Structure 1
Amino acid sequence: MCRIVGILRRDDPVDQVVLTRMRDTMTHGGPDAAGLWIEGQIGLAQRRLSIIDLTERANQPFHWRQYALVYNGEIYNYQALRSELEALGYTFITQSDTEVLIVAFHEWGVDAPKRFHGMFAFAIWDKEQKQLWLCRDRVGVKPLYVYERGSLLLFASEMKALLAYPAFDRSINRAAVAEYMHYGYIPAPESIYRHVRKLLPGTIECIRDEGDSSRTTYWSARAAYEQTEERKPEELEGILQRSFQYRMIADVPVGVFLSGGIDSSLLCAVLAKHSPQPINTFTIGFHEKELDEAPYARAIADHLGTRHQELYCSATEFEAILPDYFQMYDEPFGDSSGIPTYLVSKLAQQHVKVALSADGADELFGGYTKYQYTARFIARYQKLPTWIRNSASRFLASSLPLIANDQVQRWLGVDNWRNKLLKGIQAFTARDILDFFQQASGYFSPDVAVSYQLPPLRNRDETITVKPDKQLAYLGLLDIQHYLEGDILCKVDRASMYTALESREPFLDQDLIEYALQLADSYKYQHGQGKVLLRSLLQKYMPAHLFQRPKHGFRVPIGQWLRELYAESLRALAEDKDFCQRFGLDPPFTHQRIRAFLRKNASVSEYEIWFLFALYQWDLTWNRA
């Protein structure tokens, strides 16, 4: 695992001082070694976190024949690929997956990534052809930002490295501001800056010395969803075991993030069964009882006999780490669960160098509540005349002070009730399943977006056919393309690498994704419960009472903490017209929303105000410092 950066100039030679400065903004993610190579107009650099083949021979930039490589990630099946390449006559001087990658690229070209099981973002410079190749893994576990302006191209694992370039253009991308304000993240290919894009997952791109480029898509989740092969439930356990075991390959200690939910419990159970030693598990807890899952995780850990560590997060920790939060998330990022993710990563890093996470299982196996509501209710909503749905939406919105309060939440026993209600009201007016899902995924209505003066959102892909028996797979596909890459994977990568911990995603092996996207809904949702197959499999490893309970989101009491700790900062934001002008937000409306939140107006989501606050603090950290 590493952090990588590069400069390609078509006019002047690369400046070593500048490239070194860019590289060393990411020392946190690669404290073990640093490398740099410049040849005329091309420069490559890397900070290394040593995981496989800890020797200096595996340091980067790695040179082989006419190629120079910098690479962030892991290829878990590198030993099998190495044997295949050795059979073709190649020899190797290291035990690293880095060398296997570069030889595989030489042998198979743009088809090489199709053979990789892993997470990766890499850049290869072909000295003979004068071509730069950039590639990103299938779902975007590893980040890769690309800046292009005139004859200059920069790339890096983190935005902060690009910002260290002296002539970096900080013009704001207003389309990205709209995405961020709706969702709390910015999905690929957009970024907060006009001239920066994220390389799309599943693509490999060639940039030629003369300036033209080409892009090849070597894998897509949509293609997996559109396959017609019928998959059987009995296949699942074998696929999971292979994927999980792949992610245990390392020359350093490995652990697991354990929340006590279905996904992480199954991951731990499978690994514990096949591990000769107790596995290391790590949990974050909260003092607010309704948010705290640490007791459940502890019970699972006791049952499996893991070496378990836990840490509790409070408003004190939140306040203490907030300056770090806006350093690690160097692009606006509004998922407040990034805070406990950072804390649990910091805890794990004291004991291991690699940690496995269960992200992706919700998307693949119908775990999110919004999937279940969308699949259950869209057909019913569409039968109602538009005027009835619009009237119901307005009525519920006007009733929010009465129904969106803590007393009603306790009476209903619904986790995160106010947020779910706000999203449900927005979704009432949806035209179809795609519109319904998009409304249910955002944090305020189209009317609020207009009042903020935000530009329209770019539409998601409307050409995908919704299969009647695979609506949950369809919704999971939409999130894999958008939410998973833009939010979940970004969150875990930045939080873990900021502590020099490698995070791995065993539910995101391509074999498992392709399997799950071909499963019928009946294997994912039955009798009011999601993740049917995962639950059934988990019962082979532990009693059901350890995990059968309503789903909990991994979240913090962000509204409470904002009001208690940052009311004055929010008032300053409300008066900052320069901030509003920079991001194209209407100043009076921004002022109105913040004041309403501080008065505990139920119609204003705490997440909306947190997104504003995080954008404001990010701007202070990276643009006004």
Structure 2
Amino acid sequence: MLLGIIGSRAVQHLRNVFPEHSRDSWEYHQTPDGRWFVWSEAEKKRDHQIMLVTPEPGVFLWQGEWYPRPQSIKPALLELNSRLIHNPVDTLAEINGAFSLASWDEGKRTLLIARDAVGIQQMFYAELNDGMVFSSRLRPLARLLGMDSNLHYPALIQYLTFCYHVGEETILAPIRRLGPGQLLKWEKGRIRVYTYWRPRFRPVPRPLKTLAEEIREELERAVHIRALGLKKAGVFLSGGLDSSSVVSLLHREGIEDLRTFSFRCRGESFDESPFARRVAETFHTSHTEIEYRPQDILLAGKMAGFMDEPFCDVGINIATFLLARKAREEVDALFTGDGGDELFAGHPVYMADRAARFLPETLLAPFFVLGRRFPDSDMKKDWKVKIKRFSESVAYPRSLGTNRWRAYYRPAELQSLLLFDDVVDDSIMFGPLSVVHEKTRGLDGLSRSLAGDYQTVVQFYLRRMEMARVMGMIPRFPMLDIQIVDYCAGVPSSWKIRGLSDSKYIEKKAVETLLPRDIVYRKDKLGHSIPLKNWMREEPAVRQMFSDLLSSETIGRRHLFNPSKIEQMMKEHERKERNHSHRLWALVILELYLQSLQNAVFPWEEKSR
């Protein structure tokens, strides 16, 4: 973790809370005039993750990975810092990696901070009266500034709507975040933020065979530069096309000890474990399958303590916690297939968006009214579930892009839940997402969705892997390699989705020689799926957890939400009138997150215990 401060008062405050007896466990540096102080966790085992160098005159701090890794990292960082001072935008755009960095030029009294192009690593900051403070983690920054209870209500509203929030503002005011591919410059008390990289969605027509061959070569390169020097590696394996392709390519790299990790969730239409086992057997990995049981939901309290900000999709965050807890016992480097859906338009929301553009709403309006009246089903995906979800989502603004298929409240519904005075309208709920979508004007419909999702949904998916990073592992994302992202942004949309529903068409052609045919052309991909909605109705321990955390007494202490509205949602869910699992799970995670903030300690306090 990185943390840095400019400003004499803030530095003195840090000294007061940073006791002398714990400083041996940390690296820190102070400039001669006393106005700069920076420290980072001394991860001696992973010197490629944390590096502090002191060019004259100044300080350069790097956290993360650079692909391919330079043979001598310290001289490479010194050269990088020199180039940053003269041309930061072009210099950062050339770095293929996962990083956060800070550069202080003592002569010019200028600070630069940045995060990597696709946003794998985080960077938070806040302005102070006589300077600013930044960190790659939000929690220590919030505690340092005494802001760990300052909820920012617009961000809270967006979290409830989408189960995550986007944009520069965080859920704790007035802390802000840099977006993916962004650089901040502080000079003479003024802050300016620049965007140094975005995927270039400019389709270049190529023959299908050429595209497939070049995409396969790009995937091979992206895996190769992340696997250099590894004898042991792990992969989160779902059995889907993306993670299976990563396993195949790592196998070709000759990794001596290749380990795969997947979870199994029993229940009709929820279990994908046979596909993961099929891939593991094909490539002779050491495979670990973890049973995802109803009682594992009770781990949510521990899991919330790893989050910088609340986010929730019960399949993603609990499953990641379970897998990461097991994987950290066996591997340091952990690969995933995250990013494949955005490269090749694989998520069902892209097909839903496509259908909504082609089918006139006036023709379908009576059908949708009927669909919204269907009761909930116990199944993950049956025709009633699909029609009901489509009917509810198509009414959201088109300006949300694919996020309209991920929204869970309309303004009036959310207003009835909230007790605070802020007026809930489209501008607060949807504003940041609409701004992102507006910047994609001029692209075709699918490209607009994909370009927007790199700024929004990808950031949501990456937050789950922060838990693995906090547990001491190094996540690696070959399908978020900036070169392959740029290449696939140039692939015409017609090769990503054929017709209305043949998704990932070009990826299938690219990897069909790498994987068993039944994996490449399977039609029943479920995603990270668990039957939470059923467990909430049927499993006593899960029912009790929701009842306790969303009781009138617990909710009443926050003065944020209307207890009677939450009680109404719980009853409607139990009677199968509506599936409120996402709404109620978001409230549970928020409550656990707020509890974890109240009980938080500084990292150095933890080490000195």
How much does 1:198 deviate?
1.1
Give the letter aligned to residue 305 of structure 2: Q
Give the letter aligned to residue 258 of structure 1: L
2:68 equivalent among 65, 77, 83: 77
Name the counterpart of 2:38: 44
How much does 1:575 deviate?
4.6
How much does 1:270 deviate?
2.0
Name the counterpart of 1:216: 194
Q: Aligned pair 1:439/2:404, yes or no?
A: yes
Residues 307-456 of structure 1 mapped to structure 2, 5 A cutoff: 307-319=286-298, 321-336=299-314, 337-382=316-361, 384=362, 389=365, 391-397=366-372, 399-401=373-375, 404-406=376-378, 409=379, 413=382, 418=385, 420-430=386-396, 432=398, 434-435=399-400, 437-453=402-418, 454-455=424-425, 456=428
State the identity %: 21
Distance 1:166 1:447, change over 3 A: closer
Secondary structure of 1:279's aligned partner? strand
Secondary structure of 2:326's aligned partner? helix
Distance 1:541 1:572, change over 3 A: closer
How much does 1:561 deviate?
4.0
Please give the alpha-carbon distance, in whole angstroms, between the structure 1 residues aligned to 2:10 and 2:226. 42
Please give the alpha-carbon distance, in whole angstroms, between the structure 2 residues aligned to 1:584 and 1:12. 31
Name the counterpart of 2:481: 509
Name the counterpart of 2:95: 116
Q: Is the 8 A contact 1:422 1:443 kept in 2?
A: no
Q: Aligned pair 1:34/2:23, yes or no?
A: no
Q: Is the 8 A contact 2:227 2:253 kept in 1?
A: no
Please give the alpha-carbon distance, in whole angstroms, between the structure 2 residues aligned to 1:421 and 1:583. 36
Secondary structure of 1:500's aligned partner? coil
Name the counterpart of 2:572: 596
Secondary structure of 1:123's aligned partner? strand
Name the counterpart of 1:297: 276
Secondary structure of 1:603's aligned partner? coil
How much does 1:273 deviate?
1.9
Q: Is the 8 A contact 1:143 1:157 kept in 2?
A: yes
| TM-score normalized by the length of structure 2 | 0.86
Q: Is the 8 A contact 1:51 1:250 kept in 2?
A: no
Q: Deviations over 1:152-194 (max 9, x none)?
A: 5222222221233163363211111111011111223121112
How much does 1:367 deviate?
0.4
How much does 1:143 deviate?
1.0
Give the letter aligned to residue 463 of structure 2: C
Give the letter aligned to residue 584 of structure 2: I
Name the counterpart of 2:580: 605
1:271 equivalent among 247, 250, 259: 250
Name the counterpart of 1:471: 445
Distance 1:257 1:99, change over 3 A: farther
1:194 equivalent among 160, 164, 173: 173
Q: Aligned pair 1:257/2:236, yes or no?
A: yes
Q: Deviations over 1:391-427 (max 9, x none)?
A: 5444332x222xx212xx48x756xx64x54531223
Name the counterpart of 1:87: none
Please give the alpha-carbon distance, in whole angstroms, between the structure 1 residues aligned to 2:448 and 2:44. 38
Q: Aligned pair 1:614/2:592, yes or no?
A: no
How much does 1:21 deviate?
7.2
Q: Deviations over 1:208-250 (max 9, x none)?
A: 2x311222211123xx12x354455132112111111121135
Note the residue ranges of structure 1 that are not aligned, 5 or more in a row. 83-91
How much does 1:317 deviate?
3.2
Q: Is the 8 A contact 2:235 2:335 kept in 1?
A: yes
Distance 1:583 1:149, change over 3 A: farther
Name the counterpart of 1:105: 84
Distance 1:422 1:334, change over 3 A: farther
1:541 equivalent among 508, 514, 521: 514
How much does 1:333 deviate?
1.7
Q: Is the 8 A contact 2:294 2:542 kept in 1?
A: no
Please give the alpha-carbon distance, in whole angstroms, between the structure 2 residues aligned to 1:270 and 1:220. 27
Answer with 502-511 or 454-463: which moved more: 454-463
Please give the alpha-carbon distance, in whole angstroms, between the structure 1 residues aligned to 2:412 and 2:254. 54
Q: Is the 8 A contact 2:233 2:257 kept in 1?
A: no
How much does 1:591 deviate?
3.2
Give the letter aligned to residue 348 of structure 1: A
How much does 1:97 deviate?
6.0
Name the counterpart of 2:52: 61
Answer with 355-364 or 615-624: which moved more: 615-624
Please give the alpha-carbon distance, in whole angstroms, between the structure 2 residues aligned to 1:444 and 1:379. 25
Secondary structure of 2:472's aligned partner? coil
| TM-score normalized by the length of structure 1 | 0.84
Secondary structure of 1:64's aligned partner? coil
Name the counterpart of 1:14: 12
Residues 241-256 of structure 1 mapped to structure 2, 5 A cutoff: 241-249=220-228, 253-256=232-235
Distance 1:143 1:602, change over 3 A: farther
Distance 1:116 1:59, change over 3 A: closer
Secondary structure of 2:100's aligned partner? strand
Distance 1:101 1:557, change over 3 A: farther
Write out the 4+ residue segments of structure 1 that deviate beyond 6 Å after TM superposition.
21-24
1:4 equivalent among 2, 5, 15: 2
Residues 549-560 of structure 1 mapped to structure 2, 5 A cutoff: 549=522, 550-560=524-534
Q: Is the 8 A contact 1:7 1:19 kept in 2?
A: no
Distance 1:48 1:236, change over 3 A: farther
Please give the alpha-carbon distance, in whole angstroms, between the structure 2 residues aligned to 1:463 and 1:423. 25
Please give the alpha-carbon distance, in whole angstroms, between the structure 2 residues aligned to 1:379 and 1:78. 46
Give the letter aligned to residue 606 of structure 1: S
Give the letter aligned to residue 506 of structure 2: L
How much does 1:98 deviate?
4.6
Secondary structure of 2:429's aligned partner? coil
Please give the alpha-carbon distance, in whole angstroms, between the structure 2 residues aligned to 1:592 and 1:552. 30
Please give the alpha-carbon distance, in whole angstroms, between the structure 2 residues aligned to 1:204 and 1:22. 33
Q: Deviations over 1:106-131 (max 9, x none)?
A: 56444321110101111122222222
Please give the alpha-carbon distance, in whole angstroms, between the structure 2 residues aligned to 1:252 and 1:132. 39
Note the residue ranges of structure 2 that are not aligned, 5 or more in a row. 419-423, 601-609
> What do you get for the CA RMSD once the two structures are aligned?
3.1
Secondary structure of 2:40's aligned partner? strand
Please give the alpha-carbon distance, in whole angstroms, between the structure 1 residues aligned to 2:302 and 2:414. 30
Please give the alpha-carbon distance, in whole angstroms, between the structure 2 residues aligned to 1:311 and 1:323. 20
How much does 1:268 deviate?
1.4
Q: Is the 8 A contact 1:260 1:300 kept in 2?
A: yes
Please give the alpha-carbon distance, in whole angstroms, between the structure 1 residues aligned to 2:358 and 2:581. 30
How much does 1:554 deviate?
0.9
Q: Is the 8 A contact 1:105 1:112 kept in 2?
A: yes
How much does 1:520 deviate?
1.7
Residues 139-158 of structure 1 mapped to structure 2, 5 A cutoff: 139-151=118-130, 153-158=132-137
Q: Deviations over 1:89-110 (max 9, x none)?
A: xxx6x56865554354356444
